[in-house]
Chain A
């Protein structure tokens, strides 16, 4: 069904996407693509439609117009569940962890789609079901080691400080072993040190696992350092698209960020 995409080829292509709520148009005819293996940033002032864009990509919002091509397959929209099965994972602007569960269980939840043992085995928690659980536990422990959160394994996530919650959320997304990772403001509300840690993790994920990343971030210096290409949105419209150097030289972008005398 979906074809294999090699590094450097287009993984996700959005064409002419428009999204509105009632009379409000959140996204107006936006089109851009994400290539396999790159870090793609979406930036823009508040209310530019960045989060809505991610919501469209992973099927939470269904655009009224436009098409999305993911791994060579056209689609108008899809259910979030289908997006998950197709290898799209994400983190959220306001941490969306499972508050009642421990760090370990939260990250294990990322393995849901990879686990297949049926109800009967689960009931007995024996043989294949237990072996499966343990295999996945091992994968999860790798992620835990990688993100250095072993000490909070058993802590309910509700009790963790914000910076760690963000990290657990990243861990949960990584546990899904996605092909496309969407990060919605992964560094919001973090101090400098935490931001540096997070940047390091993002780069490592991209380098070592070759994971494609699309991220929204407000800290322009972080974005300029991290990303390969940047798309700039303002009031739901695309105003620039290119490498960090190109974008930072773009007059429309400067106007959008600094304001312009009318």
Chain B
């Protein structure tokens, strides 16, 4: 009886007993949701255009952030380092397309997926080889990200919003808008959607698959860089991020592999859900439940709706 009370009643009593704290928890959840959504967005870009499930997106985030910090530490001005890092991500995109994707055209999805796991390990090794394995501080102030925080009085308590988190949300929103514009209004965007629909048909009207792939990997690289800066500013730049980035997978399960709005909604559900669960229910189970909550939610969700939130029911043909 007491267990039932602890599970079903007490958390809600706590929530409504201290609404200011609840607001704070929700805000924290929203911010981490934004970051999950950004990583998922990188996955979606590549999956849409090439059907490749890019496991390396997480390490690309780390790699981009490390490159930025590394270049800055060589004595470059922050903005020059930023531009150069974008260049490095472009280079990475072109090399991945040339050396990996192009060679694996028409292979089964699972082979391509495993190739991106290989890429992940290669990038981990390369990143640690060049920059060393120890965590680093993101150059947030140098890039002009605001510090400090804003305090609001709510429900008789104080809600603290870090300016940096607000900036993260704004930057993420701008990024999504820019990508949306790019993919729905420009010529390259149209070509990309054509490729996403049908490779063969796209080829037959003269769209270069290789070029499109390089472009989406580059776009995913820029998203990774933005994610890396924002995440690094919140904590620090380290390879531990790589494991956290795996949480983008459950986000994709919820949102669907091809939907940008899905990635955002999925990110929010996971971000908010895991914070609420950790704070209000985690104590019952000894804490630390954040590490698996996202996956278990995705697993349960899969059992009831295998096609994702926005996906259509799959009709199998034979």
Asked whether the complex places CB atoms of A and B closer than 8 A, the reply is: yes
Beta-carbon contact of A92 and B315 below 8 Å: no
Q: Does B4 contact A (CB under 8 A)?
A: no
Q: Does B318 contact A (CB under 8 A)?
A: yes
With the chains together, A92 CA to B317 CA distance in Å?
11
Beta-carbon contact of B318 and A55 below 8 Å: yes
Where chain A touches its partner, the secondary structure class is loop
Beta-carbon contact of A60 and B315 below 8 Å: no
Q: Does A124 contact B (CB under 8 A)?
A: no
Query: How far, in Å, is A26 (CB) from chain B's closest CB?
Result: 11
With the chains together, A21 CA to B317 CA distance in Å?
11
Beta-carbon contact of B315 and A96 below 8 Å: no
Note all chain B residues with C-beta closer than 8 A to A92: 318
Note all chain A residues with C-beta closer than 8 A to B315: 21
Q: Which residue of B lies closest to A90 (CB)?
A: B318
Query: How far, in Å, is A227 (CB) from chain B's closest CB?
Result: 23
Number of interface residues of B (CB under 8 A): 3
Note all chain A residues with C-beta closer than 8 A to B316: 60
Query: How far, in Å, is B110 (CB) from chain A's closest CB?
Result: 12
Q: Which residue of A lies closest to B312 (CB)?
A: A22
Chain A 218-245 interface mask (CB, 8 Å, partner B; 1/0): 0000000000000000000000000000
- Interface set, chain B 225-284, CB cutoff 8 A to A: none
With the chains together, A75 CA to B316 CA distance in Å?
22
- Interface set, chain A 232-260, CB cutoff 8 A to B: none
Query: How far, in Å, is B317 (CB) from chain A's closest CB?
Result: 9
- Interface set, chain B 280-318, CB cutoff 8 A to A: 315-316, 318
Query: How far, in Å, is A53 (CB) from chain B's closest CB?
Result: 13
Query: How far, in Å, is A49 (CB) from chain B's closest CB?
Result: 13
Query: How far, in Å, is B211 (CB) from chain A's closest CB?
Result: 31
With the chains together, A92 CA to B316 CA distance in Å?
14
Query: How far, in Å, is B56 (CB) from chain A's closest CB?
Result: 27
With the chains together, A149 CA to B44 CA distance in Å?
47
With the chains together, A136 CA to B199 CA distance in Å?
44
With the chains together, A10 CA to B316 CA distance in Å?
30
Query: How far, in Å, is A216 (CB) from chain B's closest CB?
Result: 13
Note all chain B residues with C-beta closer than 8 A to A94: 318
Note all chain B residues with C-beta closer than 8 A to A93: 318
With the chains together, A43 CA to B137 CA distance in Å?
71
Query: How far, in Å, is B108 (CB) from chain A's closest CB?
Result: 10
With the chains together, A260 CA to B316 CA distance in Å?
34
Chain A 177-193 interface mask (CB, 8 Å, partner B; 1/0): 00000000000000000
With the chains together, A14 CA to B318 CA distance in Å?
21
- Interface set, chain B 21-72, CB cutoff 8 A to A: none
With the chains together, A212 CA to B316 CA distance in Å?
27
With the chains together, A21 CA to B318 CA distance in Å?
15
Query: How far, in Å, is A47 (CB) from chain B's closest CB?
Result: 13
Note all chain B residues with C-beta closer than 8 A to A21: 315
Q: Which residue of B lies closest to A60 (CB)?
A: B318
With the chains together, A94 CA to B318 CA distance in Å?
7
With the chains together, A258 CA to B315 CA distance in Å?
32
With the chains together, A94 CA to B315 CA distance in Å?
17
Chain A 54-78 interface mask (CB, 8 Å, partner B; 1/0): 0100001000000000000000000
With the chains together, A60 CA to B315 CA distance in Å?
11
Q: Which residue of B lies closest to A55 (CB)?
A: B318
Note all chain B residues with C-beta closer than 8 A to A96: 318
With the chains together, A71 CA to B318 CA distance in Å?
26
Query: How far, in Å, is B143 (CB) from chain A's closest CB?
Result: 50
Note all chain B residues with C-beta closer than 8 A to A60: 316, 318
- Interface set, chain A 67-110, CB cutoff 8 A to B: 92-94, 96
Interface residues of A (CB under 8 A from B): 21, 55, 60, 92-94, 96
Top 6 closest A-B pairs, CB basis? Answer: A21-B315, A92-B318, A96-B318, A60-B318, A55-B318, A94-B318
8 contacts between A and B (CB under 8 A): A21-B315, A55-B318, A60-B316, A60-B318, A92-B318, A93-B318, A94-B318, A96-B318
Question: Beyond the given A21-B315, A60-B318, could you list 4 further A-B residue pairs with CB under 8 A, ordered by the A residue number?
Answer: A55-B318, A60-B316, A92-B318, A93-B318
Interface residues of B (CB under 8 A from A): 315-316, 318
